[in-house]
Amino acid sequence: MSLVPRSSLFDVDRFFGDNWPRVADREMGDFFAPRVDIKDADDHYEITAELPGIPKENIHVHVKDGILTLEAENTQEDKEEKEGKIIRQERRYGKFMRSFNLGGDVHEEDIEASFSDGVLKLKAPKLVEKPPVRRRIEIN
């Protein structure tokens, strides 16, 4: 199984290595990368991504050529403050994309997704290995 995050220019933690301070937790403009967990279960892999505050309709998941891609966008509400002004704003807005190599042991057609309480869960079933079949060939 090679369900491993694909390298990306925007995957800042991977670019600098995991020993560097969490750059993704700082101001990154219009781009952020949510944290994901990947679990290897007996018959499937489970990917869980934290997407707080992102509406379900702004999340897109697709598979192409063995690569699973998660994309989402969260837009900032432009509202006028009647009383007071914003002194500090730490909530993230913008786009993100994470991609993962599925490898050859995932059944791409049966991947399922669910979204609840700001958490996206993907279930990627493993292919069932078929034992080699010995077949007799008749000689004419």
Asked whether residue 118 is domain-assigned, the answer is yes
Q: Name 3's Cβ contacts closer than 8 Å, sequence gap at least 6.
A: 38, 40, 45, 47, 100, 101, 102, 103, 106, 124
> Is 65 within a domain?
yes
Q: What is the pLDDT of residues 6-44, one digit of tens each?
A: 555 444 444 444 443 344 344 444 456 778 999 998 889
Write the pLDDT tens digit of every residue in 40-58: 988 899 999 998 888 899 9
Assign residue 28 the CATH number of its domain: 2.60.40.790
Model confidence pTM above 0.75: no
Q: Which residue is associated with the tokens 């993230």? A: 92
Q: Which domain holds residue 116?
A: 4-78+91-125
